[in-house]
Amino acid sequence: MKITRLSWALCVSALIGLSAQAQEQQPNFLIIMADDLGYSDIGSYGGEIDTPNLDALANEGLRLTNFHTAPTCSPTRSMLLSGTDSHIAGLGNMAELMQPFQQGQPGYEGYLNQRVANLGEVLQNAGYSTYTTGKWHLGRSEELSPAQRGFDHSYILVQGGASHFDDMTAIISVDPKAIYREDGKQVEVPKGFFSSEFYTDKLIDYIENDRQSGKPFFGLLSYTAPHWPLHAPDEWLQKYEGRYAAGYEAVRQQRLAEMKELDLIAADVQPHEPMQGVLPSWDQLTDNQKKREARSMEVYAAMVDNMDHHIGRLFDYLKETGQYDNTFILFLSDNGADGNSPLGLPGNDVWINETFDNSLENMGRKGSYIDYGAQWAQVGSTPRPYFKGLTTQGGVQVPAIIRHASVKHPGGINREIMHVMDIMPTFLKLAGIEHPAPEFKGRPVEPMQGISIIPALQGEALPERVIGWELFGRKALRKGDWKLSWMTAPYGKGAWQMFNLADDPTETKDLAQANPDKLAELLKDWDNYAKRNNVLEGDFNIRYGFETCLFEQCFK
């Protein structure tokens, strides 16, 4: 057959069309995860903190108002990367707080185990370039690092948190030095390091250095902001001076009004504040206490604002290089706002007081180690009860924004029930990749438990299903509008409670006794969940997350 110029042009045109189609079928994937960000902190979710880049993302994409994670960070990350329950993926409990009855049991390895094929390695195996920067918290050794789990390039903090400056101080007295790994090898951070800026720079470098390969990429940018210790550069701290002098109650009411205006919550919803009357209110604080509390929130807000700034730099890079519109972008927090004190971690009460300069003048600067306390965390959870570490909605319901061509109504709000386990199946569906279960690279792997949320992005309903939680012996189960909950006192009754979240989104009306048939149904669902995921029962002997104090007044 003679190839004419016209036929050659048609062939080239067809190939270009196929290439464009393949590019459309295999988008880039970018996950941006904040660490301990509260549900109502950013502007598009009702907050007063300046977050113009995330707010623009919400205007171009879709805000998810019913998106769930685990109650704490590493279990969430294991589910994000595996598409299955944390008790299957190896983080049935956080490694640092593993209890004797859990140690050595399957699903309680304390790291992302080999029973799951994680998102990075599955996408890498299918031809994606894969990168992660920031917090890992899924294994400490080189063998358990991203370099060995499917990521072409990585620069990660192995622990759950660290100083955001270059002093490389970690967050627990018994493990005081931060450990960083680049492509698996242990490294020291450079002078002038600030976490949010550096992790963003590294991810941009990784994407840019491989851009000519023509391969789609998967990037996981896992900030350590705004996890304590709360730190921010001086110019960001100055911006928020005086912003929180009115106190907890005033900020909460401001956020609540804005959330109603944005149609994030119904007009009749009121905040559920279970610690009210036990922890001191703003008016009960001394002038010095008010100054310290206000300063803590100023530092926190500065961290979030600074993080948003660097997210904007990443978006600018993707736009300048023509990659923005073909990138599925997900922004989320890894759990609810954190009202747990670092003083509850082993040895920290003495270590923090003796090692750090937490004077009012140095709060938020290098050499300080502060958190922002339970009352500000409860503001971050507005209007829902409690925060990180608990299986209430305040602990597991988080802000989440998706921008992608599959979103049918950009700028809208979606209220379908979603879970962090759903991200991997969604990505694989969009990329046209089959999950490898029951075997991957010669080892048996578990199937995913999450579902694709693409129908919801296109305005359709998702099927009703059962979703369970367990951490620190606290338990919950969601089935449609119904929620089952069990927590020890003072956070719960030490007995099963049941709520209808459609009518009672802040978990104030226990319907367990009034609706015994529904309770029996959900208890059977719980037993099935616990058996399927090898959820172990036992006594917990930890201080962190089991008492909540503010200026010597404790809810415990």
**Residue 511, by phi and psi: left (phi above 0), alpha (psi -120 to 50) or beta?**
alpha
Q: Determine which helix (DSSP H) or strand (DSSP E) holds 299, and give its type and residue range.
A: helix 287-320
CA distance 471 to 86: 10
Residue 138: CA atoms inside 13 Å, Cβ hemisphere, count? 29
CA distance 226 to 13: 49
**Residue 127, by phi and psi: left (phi above 0), alpha (psi -120 to 50) or beta?**
left
> Which residue from 461, 445, 449 is spatially nearest to 529, judged by alpha carbons?
449
Q: Determine which helix (DSSP H) or strand (DSSP E) holds 317, and give its type and residue range.
A: helix 287-320
Measured in degrees and rounded to the nearest 5, phi and psi for residue 203 equal -65, -40
CA dihedral 79, 81, 87, 92 (to 10 degrees): -90
Burial class for 375, CB neighbours closer than 10 Å (0-12, 13-18, 19+):
buried
Q: What residues contact residue 24 under an 8 Å CB cut-off, 6+ apart? A: 326, 405
Measured in degrees and rounded to the nearest 5, phi and psi for residue 232 equal -155, 150
- Which candidate in 73, 164, 310, 404 is catalytic? 73
CA distance 473 to 93: 10
Residue 73 bears catalytic tag: yes
CA dihedral 81, 85, 89, 92 (to 10 degrees): 130
Q: Determine which helix (DSSP H) or strand (DSSP E) holds 34, and give its type and residue range.
A: strand 28-34
CA distance 279 to 285: 10
Return the SS3 of 291: helix
Measured in degrees and rounded to the nearest 5, phi and psi for residue 434 equal -85, 140
Do residues 115 and 81 lie in contact, with contact meaning Cβ atoms separated by under 8 Å? no
Q: Which two tokens stand for residue 177?
A: 């030095």
> Which residue from 404, 481, 389, 510 is spatially nearest to 97, judged by alpha carbons?
389
Q: How many CB atoms lie within 10 A of CB 530?
A: 17
Measured in degrees and rounded to the nearest 5, phi and psi for residue 35 equal -115, 105
- Which candidate in 68, 87, 137, 419 is catalytic? 137
Do residues 266 and 539 lie in contact, with contact meaning Cβ atoms separated by under 8 Å? no
Do residues 156 and 148 lie in contact, with contact meaning Cβ atoms separated by under 8 Å? no
> Catalytic site residues?
73, 137
